[in-house]
Structure 1
C-alpha cells in the first residue's frame, strides 16, 4: 500500500464511529443549514482562541474573501503578503478587487520576511496579510508595529496553523481577524470543504454574518448589501466540534512525529525544518529541503512512498498572475526554495512503523545519489 503525505484515511478508520455518529445526529436533528451544530462549533472555536466571535463559511478561500471584505479591504487597495503560499490566498485578495503585493521569505523558515514589508508599503496599502505557513507563525511583533505606524489592518491566514502559538499567543488572535480552512488535510479538518473567520470585533462579526448569507441580516429576501452564499455545513460543523476536543492531542502527536524525523535524519544532508524563536510549531506539513529534490521524490516511489511539494510554483511566477508584473528573479529566496523543498508524511495517526519505513527509504535514496 502506498504511503502518502496525508493521513485522513487512517484518521477515518480510527475515528469512524464518532464521525458517523456526528453525521447521524445532524440528519436526525432536521437542522441541515446554519443550525445548532454550526452555532456550537462557532462558539467552541472562538473560545479555543480566546476571542468573542467565529463565523463559519463554506471553505478557507471564502474565509479570506469575506474576512478581507469585513475589515474594509476592497477595490483599489493593496494587500502585502508572500508569493510562497497556496494560490487561494492570492485569489481571495484578487476576488475583493485588491492588489496583492509580495515580499520575500526567510531562507530558514520560508515565512514572510517582515524586514522587507515597510519598503513595500504605499499610499494604497490597506492590509498586511501574514501567512502562518506549514504550521508556524510569522514574526508578529514587528509586523504589528508597522501596522500601527502606518494605520494598516492585519488579517491572518491561519489555514495551516490551527493551534500554533507565537510567544504564547495563539495564531488567529494577533490581528483584526483571521481565516481558517477545514479542508480534510488540515490540522483540524472536516470531511469536505469548510472554513471560518474569527475576530474580537463585533462590527467585523456582524458584517461577516451578512456577507456569508447573501448580504441579509434579520429577514430572508431582504439584502442589505451584496453578499455571498457561503455557509459552513451542519455535518462538517458537528464533526469539527468533536474533533476540536481532540485538537491538542493531534498537535502532540504531530510534534512527536516531527521529533522522530529530526532525530533520525539529523546526520543526513537533508535540511530539516527550522522553528522560529518563540514559535510552537504544529507541523501541518514537515517541509525538508535538498538540491536533488526531484530525484529523491521519484526514487521514493519505488518504496511506495508518494510525497508532496508545498509549493513548486511561487504564485508570482504563475501565468494567471502575470498581470501583477513580477519577473522571474523578483523573490530569489522564494524561487530557490520552490526548487528544493518537499514534505515528508506528517499526520497524527502516522504509525512509528510507517515513519521508520519513510526514514529508512529516504536514507537509502540519499546514499544512492
Structure 2
C-alpha cells in the first residue's frame, strides 16, 4: 500500500468540521447580511473572551492585522521596530507598507524565539519605537521577561500570534500581554477559516477604536473619513461564522497537537536530529520543527517513505531580495545556523497514530 502523509491535510479537517461549518454558512446565507454583521460582532466578543482581552477587531487577513495593529500603536514611516528574521517575512511586509525600519534581533537556538538578551542590548541602545514578538511555531514567548525589558523604556510590544492561538502561560493566553496582537485565521492555522481572515486583539479601548477605523476606510462615521492610511480590510460574515463554529474545538485540537509533538520529542532517537523540548500549555504545536545536519538527505529519505516535509523558514528576512541592499553585510549567527538546519514534520490534529509511528520510525532509520 502506498503511504502518503502530507505536511497538512485540510480535507480531513473539513470532514471533521463539516456539519458545524455547513450550519454556520447556511445561517449567514439566510440572514441576508454578509459584511460586518452579527456573526462578526459575536466572533469578536467570543474570541476576545477566549484570549482574555477586552477587544477583538476582525480584519481581512493576518498581515493586515499586523500592519493595522502597528499603525494603531502609532508606528509610522521611519519608526524603528525590533523583530526577528526567521519568521517568513510577514512582519516585514507590514513594516514595508508602513515605511517603518526593521531592527533585527537574533533568536534563541532552542526556542527559535527572539533572544531576550539581544533584545535587551537593542533596547538599551535606545531609539526603538516598538517590538514585534512572534510566537513562532506555536510557542508563546516568556512575555513577562520581554515586558521587564520594554516597559521601563516605554516601548510598546506587539504580539504576532498567527501560529499561537490558545497558547498560555500562568493562566494568560497569547494576545493578552502586549499593547496589541495580531492573529491569522488562514486555513492551515490552529483556528482556520475557509479563506483569508485575521484579527487584532487588544486591552485598549483606544487601540481597538483606531483599528476599527483603519479596517474601514478610516471612517469616523459612514462616509466621514478621519484616519489616514486606512483601507478596506473587513472580515466577512461567512468567515466569521465558520470561525465561531470551530472555536469551541480549538482547545481539544491544541491538546492533540501537543500529544503528537510530545511523541516526536520523546520517541525520535537519532544522533543527527535535534528535537524541541517537551512543552506544556505554552506550546500549541502549530508547526513541529526539528534540526538536522543534512536536511536535504533527510527530506529525500522521508519523501521516499511517503512523508511530506517543509522548511519554515529557509531564508532570513534580511537576505530576501527587497532588503539585500540595506543589509548586505548583516548576519545573525543563530538565525543563519537554523535556516540551514530546520525541517518541519507533519503535525495536525487529524494525523493518525500509525502515521505518527511511521514518521518516527522513518527518521530513526535514516
Task: Provide TM-score, normalisation by structure 2.
Answer: 0.95
Return 190-199 or 131-140, whichever deviates more. Answer: 131-140
SS at match of 2:218: coil
Q: Which residue of 2 aligns with 1:293?
A: 295
> Given the superposition, is the C-alpha separation of residues 251 and 137 from structure 1 closer, same or farther in structure 2, using an over 3 Å criterion?
same
Residue 336 of structure 1 deviates from its aligned partner by 0.5
Contact 1:5/1:307 (8 A) holds in 2: yes
Residue 173 of structure 1 deviates from its aligned partner by 0.7
Contact 2:265/2:278 (8 A) holds in 1: no
Contact 1:60/1:195 (8 A) holds in 2: yes
CA distance in 2, matches of 1:324, 1:92: 17
Contact 1:6/1:185 (8 A) holds in 2: yes
Contact 2:53/2:202 (8 A) holds in 1: yes
Residue 326 of structure 1 deviates from its aligned partner by 5.0
* Residues 113-262 of structure 1 mapped to structure 2, 5 A cutoff: 113-121=115-123, 122-219=125-222, 221-226=223-228, 227-262=230-265
Contact 1:284/1:346 (8 A) holds in 2: yes
CA distance in 1, matches of 2:328, 2:158: 23
SS at match of 2:129: strand
Contact 1:275/1:281 (8 A) holds in 2: no
Runs of 4+ in 1 over 6 A off after TM superposition: none
SS at match of 2:23: helix
SS at match of 2:17: helix
* Residues 1-369 of structure 1 mapped to structure 2, 5 A cutoff: 2-121=4-123, 122-219=125-222, 221-226=223-228, 227-266=230-269, 268-274=271-277, 280-327=282-329, 330-364=331-365, 366=366
> Given the superposition, is the C-alpha separation of residues 268 and 16 from structure 1 closer, same or farther in structure 2, using an over 3 Å criterion?
farther
Contact 1:7/1:346 (8 A) holds in 2: no
Contact 2:52/2:172 (8 A) holds in 1: no
Task: Provide TM-score, normalisation by structure 1.
Answer: 0.94
Residue 323 of structure 1 deviates from its aligned partner by 3.8
CA distance in 2, matches of 1:130, 1:259: 25
SS at match of 2:221: coil
CA distance in 2, matches of 1:263, 1:139: 24
Specify every segment of 5 or more residues in structure 2 that has no aligned partner in the other structure, as ranges: none
Residue 123 of structure 1 deviates from its aligned partner by 4.6
CA distance in 1, matches of 2:26, 2:80: 45
Contact 2:176/2:202 (8 A) holds in 1: yes
CA distance in 1, matches of 2:196, 2:335: 28
SS at match of 2:111: coil
Residue 324 of structure 1 deviates from its aligned partner by 3.2
Residue 10 of structure 1 deviates from its aligned partner by 1.0
> Given the superposition, is the C-alpha separation of residues 27 and 279 from structure 1 closer, same or farther in structure 2, using an over 3 Å criterion?
closer
Residue 267 of structure 1 deviates from its aligned partner by 5.4
CA distance in 2, matches of 1:203, 1:342: 41
Return 66-75 or 116-125, whichever deviates more. Answer: 116-125
SS at match of 1:239: helix
Contact 2:319/2:327 (8 A) holds in 1: no
CA distance in 1, matches of 2:271, 2:244: 41
CA shift digits 1:182-213 (9 cap, x unpaired): 01111111111010000110000100100000
Return 354-363 or 153-162, whichever deviates more. Answer: 354-363
SS at match of 1:217: strand
CA distance in 2, matches of 1:80, 1:326: 18
> Given the superposition, is the C-alpha separation of residues 2 and 269 from structure 1 closer, same or farther in structure 2, using an over 3 Å criterion?
same
Residue 58 of structure 1 deviates from its aligned partner by 0.5
Residue 262 of structure 1 deviates from its aligned partner by 2.1
CA shift digits 1:261-305 (9 cap, x unpaired): 1232145542111357x8621100011110111111122222221
Residue 167 of structure 1 deviates from its aligned partner by 3.3
